[in-house]
Structure 1
Amino acid sequence: MKITSANLYMINLPLQSAFKTSFGQMRTKDFILVALHDEDGRTGYGECSAFSVPFYTEEFRNSAYLLLKDILIPLLLRQEITTPAQLTNLFCAIKRNNMAKAAIDTAMWDLYAQKSHRSLAEAIGGNKKEVLAGISIGIQPSPTVLVQKVQQAVKAGYQRVKVKIKPGADYQYLKAVRNVFPQLMLMADANSAYQLKDADHLKQFDKLGLLMIEQPLESGDLLNHAQLQQQLATPICLDESINSLKDAQAMYQLGSGQIINIKVSKVGGLSIAKEIQAFAQRHHIDCWCGGMLGSGVARAVDIAAATLPGYTLPNDISASQRYFAHDIIKPEINLSNGKVKVPTIPGLGFKLDWDTISRYTIKENKL
């Protein structure tokens, strides 16, 4: 494969409602759509999920846009690429910036799948025809409102519910949900809102039979996560802490957690996500695919990733209408009996909705 040109689209896609976490709230999903055009006239698409400010990782959208435009895509143009895995070496001199790299990696996998006349899931080695869907619910104003949101999610068919928490909006909120839904696969996501000194408070969560507590401590703090896991019966899942295969290996060796949330965008794309999944599977570590409030392009990639055999738990792959009045793909992603069907069309499996893309694009570059 040889990339001859590319387009970048900076997009602000409105959310149905504000999404609140421990570090703030969002009313739009701000992202970059990358389109790579090859010498045979095909186009592959990828999404850079970097937020507008660098509160989640060191990346933010404006910096990622410049990196893509001025460095990464110029490095890629006219290169002969046999497999997307080659991009790891091509970009090795550029430190981190995984979300910008992931946009190119996933677009190349889309092209690779199209060229081989396979679905993206088939091209990466997936073996599922449908994937289990979970839902993420932001921090709510009260336990009562949270229970109402969970009731709506369960009625919609979601098999696992993730609740965002922070100090002051955690145990009592989760307890209220558990009282109404004693059998629900329920988990909490702290987004690094706690410290090791909060261990006694977090021990209360063991009473609730949670599937996991996700990323309770700082992202780089594998040692304290290991100490915390020793004190908790509830499995710790690491998200922000896992940005590479080496991070997953360190987690395993230190005992920092029992579950990994593999976010394709955050680890640098499908090529690295496959490596982490394979390592986790060899060491009997449960995995699931997390999202970044991504548009349909990112969710199409997540669906493919979740078909890999090492993904053992329900994924953060919700229906398009859960977050967006208008997604950027056709058909939009839908839920059926708590599952999402895996597309069989070559590549991503979806067409792009250019009317919606044009409406919400705030900046565009052709390279």
Structure 2
Amino acid sequence: MEIKRLTMHVVEMPLKAPFYTHLETVTRREAILIEVEDTSGRVGWGEASAFSTPWYTEETVATEWHTIKDILFPLVKKYPIHHPSDVSTLFKAVRGNQMAKAGVESALWDLYAKRMEQPLFEVLGGTRASISVGAVASGQTTDEMLERIQSHVENGYGRIKIKISRGHDFKVLEAIRQAYPHISLMADANSAYTIEDITHLKALDAYKLMMIEQPFEAEDMWDHRKLQGEIETAVCLDESIRSLHDTRCAVEMKACQVINLKYSRVGGITEAKRIHDYCRMKRIDLWAGGMIEFGISRAHNAALASLPGFTMPGDIVSTDYYWEEDFIEPGIFVQNGRIHLSKKPGIGFEVNRERIERKRKAVHSA
């Protein structure tokens, strides 16, 4: 692929409703949209998905801007790129900064699929033309969460996730199970607990959850192993998994039974595919997590989730779930709990440049 121009657009939009965790309440979303143009005029799109503040990982939109502008773009311009996986090797010279890397690499995957004149999910080896999806029911009160669960159930989402923390778990779960005794329910802690809470967490077994996601800090893999040995509920790791190496460590030490795979968190689609292949070989349940992302990233995520090793519904919601308008057209929509993948080349959607310009805060080309 002969690259003619690399461009990044910092965009920002308000969410239709706040997204609550015990760490942060997100009301507006910034992201960096990556545009890669080759010498034939084809354009690939990616999205760097860090948040404005470092509550989820240490990366932010500001650090992504620096890393992409001053380090990653120059590397892509300097060295020949024959296949998107080439940049995974090229970027090894840069420590961390996984979401910045994923943004650039995903744009190259879209461009590559368009050059092949194939939909991205087929280029990646996907075996499903539609995928099963779930949704998050976040809220400040139990009533608000129950209202969102009802909406998700009516829209056919195959799995419901709620956010929990110390002091905001048992009462909420009790109310949900009384109202919805049979829905597929999981709980995401976003590192709200510590190893001292094992006895407390064992009581969650009574609610027959699909899993508890990331109960401890990202670095506490050994403590997750201790917890998984004490509870019946499956432990799912999210923030702890940043690479295939992390995945192998978690599986071999039996720190989890489920992995939430976000290609943006592990540095790109190439590494995500490696993790997928490993989990499939080891029969570890896998699902595609979401990042309150715009449509470009969501389209990449949906393509990845078509691979056969994704065994559980992912966090890939409709375009109109978070936004009054998105940057892709016609948009991604859930129908009876499933998303049908586009058969058009690349991510399969047109990007609305006029909308990007209206919502853009900064732009840089190389």
- For the Cα contact (< 8 Å) 1:3–1:79, is it kept in 2? no
The answer to whether the aligner puts 1:221 opposite 2:217 as a matched pair is no
Alignment of 1:77-226 (within 5 A): 77=77, 79-138=79-138, 140-226=139-225
- The Cα offsets for residues 304-334 of structure 1, whole Å up to 9 and x where unpaired, read as 0000010000000000111111111001111
Greater CA deviation, 78-87 or 244-253?
78-87
2:295 is aligned with what amino acid? Answer: G
- For the Cα contact (< 8 Å) 2:24–2:55, is it kept in 1? no
Report how far residue 141 of structure 1 moved.
2.7
Q: Which residue of 2 aligns with 1:350?
A: 349
For 2:164 and 2:352, how far apart are their aligned partners in 1? 34
For 1:283 and 1:207, how far apart are their aligned partners in 2? 28
- For the Cα contact (< 8 Å) 1:287–1:312, is it kept in 2? yes
For 2:329 and 2:83, how far apart are their aligned partners in 1? 27
- For the Cα contact (< 8 Å) 2:29–2:52, is it kept in 1? no
For 1:37 and 1:117, how far apart are their aligned partners in 2? 16
Q: Which residue of 1 aligns with 2:63?
A: 63
Q: Which residue of 2 aligns with 1:2?
A: 2
Alignment of 1:306-345 (within 5 A): 306-345=305-344
Q: Which residue of 1 aligns with 2:230?
A: 231
- The Cα offsets for residues 330-360 of structure 1, whole Å up to 9 and x where unpaired, read as 0111111100001110001000122321221
Q: Which residue of 2 aligns with 1:24?
A: 24
Alignment of 1:248-263 (within 5 A): 248-263=247-262
The answer to whether the aligner puts 1:51 opposite 2:51 as a matched pair is yes
For 2:252 and 2:30, how far apart are their aligned partners in 1? 36
Q: Which residue of 1 aligns with 2:12?
A: 12
For 2:337 and 2:48, how far apart are their aligned partners in 1? 27
The answer to whether the aligner puts 1:36 opposite 2:41 as a matched pair is no
Q: What is the SS of the residue equivalent to 1:113?
A: helix
Report how far residue 78 of structure 1 moved.
5.0
- In structure 2, stretches of 5+ residues that fail to align are none
Greater CA deviation, 320-329 or 353-362?
353-362
1:324 is aligned with what amino acid? Answer: W
2:86 is aligned with what amino acid? Answer: Q
Q: What is the SS of the residue equivalent to 1:17?
A: strand
Q: Which residue of 1 aligns with 2:246?
A: 247
2:256 is aligned with what amino acid? Answer: G
1:245 is aligned with what amino acid? Answer: L
Report how far residue 109 of structure 1 moved.
0.5
Q: What is the SS of the residue equivalent to 1:326?
A: coil
Q: Which residue of 1 aligns with 2:287?
A: 288
1:5 is aligned with what amino acid? Answer: R
- For the Cα contact (< 8 Å) 1:229–1:257, is it kept in 2? yes
For 1:27 and 1:137, how far apart are their aligned partners in 2? 15
For 1:147 and 1:186, how far apart are their aligned partners in 2? 12
Greater CA deviation, 349-358 or 98-107?
349-358
Report how far residue 81 of structure 1 moved.
1.5
Q: What is the SS of the residue equivalent to 1:77?
A: helix
For 2:137 and 2:267, how far apart are their aligned partners in 1? 25
- In structure 1, stretches of 5+ residues that fail to align are none
- The Cα offsets for residues 108-144 of structure 1, whole Å up to 9 and x where unpaired, read as 1101101111100001110101000100122x23222
- The Cα offsets for residues 219-260 of structure 1, whole Å up to 9 and x where unpaired, read as 011100000011110000000000000000000111100000
- For the Cα contact (< 8 Å) 1:166–1:193, is it kept in 2? yes
- For the Cα contact (< 8 Å) 2:20–2:140, is it kept in 1? no
What TM-score does the superposition give when structure 1 sets the normalisation length? 0.98
What TM-score does the superposition give when structure 2 sets the normalisation length? 0.98
**CA-based RMSD:** 0.9
